[in-house]
Amino acid sequence: MIKTLSPEHWQDYELVDSGHFEKLERFGKFTLRRPEPQAIWSPSLSEEEWRKRAFATFEKGKSNPESGNWVLKQGMPDKWINEYKREELKIKYKLSLSSFKHVGIFPEQSVNWDFLFSKLTQLKRTSNLAPLALNLFAYTGIASVVCKAAGADITHLDSIKQVVTWARENMEASGLDGIRWMVDDALKFALREERRGKKYQCLILDPPAYGRGPDGEKWILEEHLPSLLKACKSILDPENHIFVLNLYSLGFSTLITENLIKEYFPKSKPELGEIYLEDGFGKKLPLGTFARFSSF
């Protein structure tokens, strides 16, 4: 059965409105306006209201539409701290205005943070051991911090040194320590772990459509994801395990994700579907497909 998941309300984030290929989002005290290629409908608020509410607006570059500049109103910082709280889980993270429109967090992924925290807490309680977790393509590490908060022994891997440093700042802001940091190519690392016979109780994958490893290795999702999933099958503990795959690519449907999970994890009983954010006017913004399962 294909599901749709959307985060419950949380204090430090709100999708205010969406439309005309943009989204208006509140991160704590500050509301941002930035591009969103899937918001093909019309916004609910007027252009005047968007301009009035936005503390910062991302303007695409003329030569490279993937990059651009932020136009800031007076009083808008380029860095600030927000918080995520859900029952026993409480973490903090740094937001920053990047030249690629990103701010360091993907709010829709909070549905997976809750899943990871709940499952890892349960696994640690029943086994009385710290579960080994591996977060590949880990970006600024919110999921890594969540895993550490749940008591996991977590390895955080990304190919870009600067975002690994950012992730460390998020760990420290949350009052935690002990995350293992790796700047490496995800596929190469997983294959090495496979050769070593390493087993993890938790694997998290959030791969981009395209990317580069630290030594220039090419990552092309449709070409390399099957090899990565094959390696992940080998390093995932067959007895006690948690697995999360998130795909944000316009070419990947939930059915493709389902076929891949059936091929490499045939005994699993995964949750499959789409993740979305709902704006203040009830419009649903799709933000990727997911597959996740556990042995318990």
Domain ranges across the chain: 2-80, 107-294
User: CB–CB of 162/190 below 8 Å?
Assistant: no
Q: Read off φ and ψ for residue 124, nearest 5 degrees.
A: -65, -40
CATH architecture of 107-294: 3-Layer(aba) Sandwich (3.40)
Closest CA to 203 of 237, 248, 251: 237
Find tokens 């409480």 and name the residue.
90
Q: Read off φ and ψ for residue 251, nearest 5 degrees.
A: -90, -5
| Threshold 0.75, pTM exceeds | yes
CA pair distance 28, 81, nearest whole angstrom:
8
pLDDT for 65:
67
Closest CA to 17 of 292, 284, 242: 284
Q: Which residues does 156 contact at the CB level (< 8 Å), separation at least 6?
A: 135, 138, 141, 144, 164, 167, 179, 180, 181, 182
204-246: pLDDT as tens digits: 999 999 999 999 999 999 999 999 999 999 999 999 999 999 9
Class (C level, CATH) for 2-80: mainly beta
The interaxial angle of helices 221-235 and 186-196, nearest 10 deg, is 30
Going edge to edge, which strands form the sheet with 56-60? 13-19, 22-27, 30-35, 56-60, 68-72
Residue 84 to residues 92, 106, 166, Cα–Cα distance (Å): 6, 12, 17
129-149: pLDDT as tens digits: 899 999 999 999 999 999 999
CA pair distance 176, 146, nearest whole angstrom:
10
CA pair distance 41, 49, nearest whole angstrom:
17
3-state secondary structure of 198: coil
pLDDT for 251:
74
pLDDT tens for the 296 residues of the chain, in order: 899 999 999 999 999 999 999 999 999 999 999 999 999 999 999 999 999 999 999 998 877 767 899 999 999 999 999 999 999 999 999 999 999 899 999 999 999 999 999 999 999 999 988 999 999 999 999 999 999 999 999 999 999 999 999 999 999 999 999 999 999 999 999 999 999 999 999 999 999 999 999 999 999 999 999 999 999 999 999 999 999 999 987 678 999 999 999 999 999 999 999 999 999 999 999 999 999 999 99
CA pair distance 265, 147, nearest whole angstrom:
22
CA pair distance 213, 32, nearest whole angstrom:
30
CA pair distance 114, 120, nearest whole angstrom:
10
